[in-house]
Chains A and B, each alone.
Chain A
């Protein structure tokens, strides 16, 4: 029997909203999470994606006992999160990309000391772990700086260290790379890969960044209106979405719209047709075939290929499931 790290069944959360003014007494119910069934085993790495308002954050807050489910069951690390919130807190580390768990006016180092005390970590264990985190996340240069003076990239690295100080079995990251530049994202991802490899940590992360998913996650879960609409591998996701690639074609002269090329869709033209965008299905045709067909009609000057982005994949999955 496998002991799941995350185990939910029929997990549902509703919010009631009241109307304005004369409608104060009229309540409407909003279902943020709808009968979610989710099983995550130890050591798995799951990307949790969906549009804004799809219920991702609400799910996370129920997994760690901040919010109470309206119905359904949830167990995290084998614990009922709401009833035994404090016991669970010792086993889970959470980063909310848009909130801080550090002390705004205190140096980073002191925030770590306070967190070590809150988690009642033995002195030696706390020291060796924070040394490890400080090294891997490259925090040394700003350890003595008050949190309010850190750049966003520095602060996010410190936030991740703060969430992992007590060696949680499960790490939940809610949009950890939001607002970060390419280099900071890269560092953070490398750190998380190392952390998983060395400690077997289970990872659940929400993101709008396809790069996060590609680098970090073996499994992807897509939610729409609180329901899981896809659960499987990343490759499978691209197939299920039938995600098309887009060719951006630049021509020497103004060119009539390139419609009617097999297995492609003409997405639009700019500059009187001197730049056109064609989507093609990579399962049905190849870029070379498409280019040959284009070459017969006009003189190509330059081209680039756009990969499907996460929003696009999500939108397609949504369309397919509705």
Chain B
């Protein structure tokens, strides 16, 4: 946990160096970001890094590979929902030791612009939890491919490369050229991280903020549905590894 915090801070300062330079080179604002709001983007995104799954790994894929998934199917629970709920629980907890300190330290050392209205925080937290859930309902799709492929590391790495970029982990997706922005918005990735950040930092407010939460919920429903269908189909295909 502490190691994770140190890593968050280190990369946070790297992002500060690069993105502040971008803002200044553009003459003080770029796509509506000034130094204060860019700082808010950086530290909130760093704080979410320990909770939003942008690496694509899931215990569940390990359990498919070694056959422990047999034990999961022995329980009177929906395996997809139980898997996602367990992971979301852990991720929300990680906000305390890893998320909040990242934001607090960034705010103290660099300074940032924060919204003044309480709705931004309340709706922002809702959006944050949905975002975390979307990341796990999407990563579950990567894991469940293991019913057919057994080894899913290839897809997992592909997910890791693409999701961080499209989720707005490295730069805000508003800085993308139009075609790339359109591409990003055609994936569930912005719903995992970019939209919660936009709401939490007060960049998007009012009706537009509710609109973003609506988009998040749509992606959540979509990924859960696909995950459900794949789980059902995969169970017909399932072979328990290791006897």
Interface membership of chain B positions 215-239, coded 1 if the CB is closer than 8 angstroms to chain A and 0 otherwise: 0000000000000000000011011
Docked-complex contact B76 and A99, CB < 8 angstroms: no
- Docked pose: A68 CA to B237 CA in angstroms: 8
With an 8 A cutoff between CB atoms, is A89 at the interface?
yes
Docked-complex contact B76 and A118, CB < 8 angstroms: yes
Interface-lining segment among A59-67, A128-136, A180-188, A244-252: A59-67
Docked-complex contact A96 and B239, CB < 8 angstroms: no
A144 to chain B, nearest CB (A): 22
Interface-lining segment among B25-33, B64-72, B106-114, B181-189: B64-72
Residues of A within 8 A of B11 (CB): none
With an 8 A cutoff between CB atoms, is B77 at the interface?
yes
A118: which of B73, B77, B243 is its contact (CB, 8 Å)?
B77
Instruction: For the complex, count residues of B whose C-beta is within 8 A of A.
Output: 17
Docked-complex contact A66 and B76, CB < 8 angstroms: no
Residues of B within 8 A of A120 (CB): 76
B76: which of A67, A89, A98 is its contact (CB, 8 Å)?
A89
Residues of B within 8 A of A94 (CB): 74
With an 8 A cutoff between CB atoms, is B21 at the interface?
no
Interface membership of chain A positions 96-107, coded 1 if the CB is closer than 8 angstroms to chain B and 0 otherwise: 101111000000
Docked-complex contact A89 and B243, CB < 8 angstroms: no
Max count, chain A CB within 10 A of own CB: residue among B67, B77, B239, B243: B243
A89: which of B74, B236, B239, B240 is its contact (CB, 8 Å)?
B74
Docked-complex contact A86 and B67, CB < 8 angstroms: no
With an 8 A cutoff between CB atoms, is B75 at the interface?
yes
Residues of A within 8 A of B243 (CB): 57, 98
Residues of B within 8 A of A67 (CB): 238-240
Instruction: For the complex, count residues of A whose C-beta is within 8 A of B.
Output: 24
Residues of B within 8 A of A85 (CB): 73
Docked-complex contact A89 and B70, CB < 8 angstroms: no
Contact A15/B239 with A90-B76, A118-B75, A118-B77 known, Cβ cut-off 8 Å: yes
- Docked pose: A92 CA to B238 CA in angstroms: 21
Contact A66/B74 with A99-B67, A99-B68 known, Cβ cut-off 8 Å: yes
With an 8 A cutoff between CB atoms, is A119 at the interface?
yes
- Docked pose: A64 CA to B71 CA in angstroms: 11
Residues of A within 8 A of B76 (CB): 86-87, 89-90, 118-120
Residues of B within 8 A of A65 (CB): 73
Docked-complex contact A101 and B71, CB < 8 angstroms: yes
Residues of B within 8 A of A92 (CB): 74
Chain B residue at minimal CB-CB distance from A15: B239
Chain B residue at minimal CB-CB distance from A163: B74
Residues of B within 8 A of A90 (CB): 76
- Docked pose: A67 CA to B67 CA in angstroms: 12
A185 to chain B, nearest CB (A): 21
Q: Restricting to B125-182, which residues have a CB under 8 Å from any CB of A?
A: none
- Docked pose: A64 CA to B74 CA in angstroms: 7
Chain B residue at minimal CB-CB distance from A100: B71
- Docked pose: A67 CA to B239 CA in angstroms: 7
Chain B residue at minimal CB-CB distance from A65: B73
Docked-complex contact B70 and A66, CB < 8 angstroms: yes
Interface membership of chain A positions 65-77, coded 1 if the CB is closer than 8 angstroms to chain B and 0 otherwise: 1111000000000
Docked-complex contact A61 and B75, CB < 8 angstroms: no
Residues of A within 8 A of B235 (CB): 68, 82
Docked-complex contact A99 and B77, CB < 8 angstroms: no
Residues of B within 8 A of A66 (CB): 70, 73-74, 238, 240
- Docked pose: A119 CA to B75 CA in angstroms: 8
Residues of A within 8 A of B240 (CB): 57, 61, 66-67
Residues of B within 8 A of A68 (CB): 235-236, 238
B77 to chain A, nearest CB (A): 6
A79 to chain B, nearest CB (A): 12
Max count, chain B CB within 10 A of own CB: residue among A61, A65, A94, A100: A61
- Docked pose: A87 CA to B68 CA in angstroms: 21
Q: Restricting to B71-130, which residues have a CB under 8 Å from any CB of A?
A: 71, 73-78
Residues of A within 8 A of B75 (CB): 89, 118
- Docked pose: A66 CA to B73 CA in angstroms: 6
A96: which of B71, B77, B78 is its contact (CB, 8 Å)?
B71
- Docked pose: A90 CA to B77 CA in angstroms: 10
- Docked pose: A144 CA to B84 CA in angstroms: 28
Chain A residue at minimal CB-CB distance from B77: A118
Chain A residue at minimal CB-CB distance from B74: A94
Chain A residue at minimal CB-CB distance from B236: A68
14 pairs, CB–CB < 8 Å, chain A vs chain B: A15-B239, A61-B240, A66-B70, A67-B238, A67-B240, A82-B235, A85-B73, A86-B76, A86-B77, A96-B70, A96-B71, A99-B70, A118-B76, A118-B77
Binding site for B on A (CB under 8 A): 15, 57, 61, 64-68, 82, 85-87, 89-90, 92, 94, 96, 98-101, 118-120
